[in-house]
Amino acid sequence: MKLDEHPGLWMTTTHRALPGVVIERNKRRSRHGNINGPDLLPDLVGSNVTDDVYLITQSDNEIGWRKWLVAPYCFLYIAGYITSSATFGLFVYYKVQRDLYPDLDQLNETSACKDVNKSSLDYQRQVHVQDVASNWGIYTSLAVGIPAIFANMLLGSSTDKFGRKFLFFLPCIGTLIRMIVTVNGIYFDFNLTYHLIGFIVEGLTGQLFTMLLVCFTYVADVTSQKGKQEP
């Protein structure tokens, strides 16, 4: 920062300024107890007169056009995630039915709004298929949810150090791997246990929760100071 661009500001020349610094204070007492340099800033809690204080600029510039791509990017990811998850749930029901009752092409559908013959063989088979399919839904949720808990604990705390960009791509990569595993498993008719591999990998990359985390963090980053309410 040039001094002629900000008249009246005193900056020390003994320390190199950080990028984006607007004020750098370096108070030092002389032999007579006087403070060298003007007192530009109030003392901070826990600081003393020998501390270097840096204030980083808060840019209120308009958001660039590339930053507007974040919203449709996140929307497409979430839409693809929800669509693929719902489709896989339907496939699990079909797969379980075909494995348990390969001689049946389709089970009769029943509704709670009408009388159901619970003693019929078709009804009992349908309940059995639903029960097994629900269990597989629990298995896939645990396979993706448990790794995601630990992944988000690590990824959320590392975003301030490594930046936000990699968190935008990491859950997409994990979901893409899960979709590839699922598509191959459906095409080659693998056992449902095979699909758990894709869900575990997706959980290790944070899954949907990491995308939401980085979206909220990014919105807070790009929101100007004028748009933030004082507590």
Which is nearest to 28 in space by CA: 45, 15, 9?
15
Q: List the structure tokens of 1.
A: 């920062």
Q: List the structure tokens of 218.
A: 């990014």
What is the rounded average pLDDT of the residues 48-55?
55
User: Mind listing the pLDDT tens digit for each residue in 196-222?
Assistant: 999 999 999 999 999 999 988 888 888
Q: CB pairs under 8 A, 24+ apart, for 96-101?
A: 96/129, 96/132, 96/133, 96/136, 96/192, 97/129, 100/125, 100/128, 100/129, 100/132, 101/125, 101/129
Residue 159 has pLDDT above 80, yes or no: yes
User: Mind listing the pLDDT tens digit for each residue in 71-123?
Assistant: 899 999 999 999 999 999 999 999 999 999 988 776 556 555 566 777 888 88
* CA–CA dist 156, 56 (Å, integer): 23
- H-helix or E-strand spanning residue 24: strand 21-26
Which is nearest to 148 in space by CA: 198, 205, 195, 196?
205
Q: Which residue has the higher pLDDT, 18 or 155?
A: 155
Cβ neighbours for 163, distance < 8 A, ≥ 6 positions apart: none
Q: Parallel, antiparallel, or unpaired for β 28-29 and 35-36?
A: antiparallel
> Residue written as tokens 């399919």?
133
Q: Which residue has the higher pLDDT, 178 or 43?
A: 178
